[in-house]
Structure 1
Amino acid sequence: MSMQLKSTAFQDGQAIPRQYTADGENRSPPLEWTAPPTGTQSLALICEDPDAPRGIWVHWVLFNLPQNARKLDEGMASDGKLPPGAVQGTNDFRKIGYGGPAPPPGKPHRYFFKLYALDARLNLPTGTNRSQLLDAMRGHILAETQLMGKYGR
């Protein structure tokens, strides 16, 4: 069985509740996933909006989650209660941690939470951006899964 990612806050393809957006409390949503494949040493998570006017907009970069972690509680990104060893990167708001959906008015945007199972821990610092993380993950991805939510103004 492949790894699966879900949230108790919204279903795949459905609306992300306002509290997890820049219009609400801007808290990271609760996420949970099934066991990663054998050989997994760490997990990484990227949240991105491919519908942004200037291309992909990154909302969250998180890596070195322990391989035995199975969830992220609501608000973990800002509460500083991440699993041991987990490191947050820089989002496109130029902040470390989670930045909730904040699309321009119009058609709702899609937000992809992408979870990766890796065969290594990554030697990257706090503040690493999406591109740097993707480069470091190359050749180390054992499995990946995603959850997509929508939000519009």
Structure 2
Amino acid sequence: MLLKSPSFEAGDTIPTRYTCDGENVNPALELNDIPPDTRSLALIMDDPDAPAGTWTHWLVWDIAPGTNIAEKSEAGTMGINDFGTTNYQGPCPPIGIHRYFFRVYALDTTLELPTGSTREELLKAMEYHVIGSGELMGLYSHAS
């Protein structure tokens, strides 16, 4: 699967608009080469460089196959992130440059987890149902 964004190239800096220094809205994401047997998609955005370990910024599932995720949207059911909210929370590193991974998973089922489910609950529900995946990584640090 191919995951890309019209807002930034893989490996480039995520524009301020999509961070805590800007409007803090999700970037648009384009999904291509989705496996034909896909019933739903799930998305996890996280920061593996956070001081306390991997920090989850965004969880979404039961996204319809063939859906491109629009900027500032709710494309599916939202889970609770490590900020304690059920919406997108953009990059906001305490220090230095961090990597932010957007990962999309093609699933052979719909999950029907309730809004506010945790990352662990999402990963458990996805177990044995992932038939494809794609990844987009962007960088961000606070302006000095």
Class of the TM-score when normalised by the shorter of the 2 chains: over 0.9
Q: CA deviation at 1:130?
A: 1.1
Number of equivalent positions: 142
Q: How does 1:22-61 map to 2 (within 5 A)?
A: 22-61=20-59
Partners of 1:119 and 1:33 lie apart in 2 by: 16
Give me the CA root mean square deviation.
Answer: 0.9
| Residue type of the alignment partner of 2:70 | D
Tell me the secondary structure at the aligned position of residue 135 of structure 1.
Answer: helix
Cα deviation code 1:72-118 (max 9, x no counterpart): 111114xxxx3xxx20111111000100111012x200000000000
Tell me the secondary structure at the aligned position of residue 120 of structure 2.
Answer: helix
Tell me the secondary structure at the aligned position of residue 132 of structure 1.
Answer: helix
Partners of 1:35 and 1:129 lie apart in 2 by: 28
Q: CA deviation at 1:35?
A: 3.4
TM-score, normalising length: structure 1: 0.90
Unaligned runs of 5+ in 1: none
Unaligned runs of 5+ in 2: none
Which position in structure 2 is the counterpart of 1:152?
141
Runs of 4+ in 1 over 2 A off after TM superposition: none
Which position in structure 2 is the counterpart of 1:137?
126
Partners of 2:110 and 2:102 lie apart in 1 by: 20
Tell me the secondary structure at the aligned position of residue 121 of structure 2.
Answer: helix
TM-score, normalising length: structure 2: 0.96
Which position in structure 2 is the counterpart of 1:10?
8
Identity fraction in percent = 47
Partners of 2:120 and 2:39 lie apart in 1 by: 21
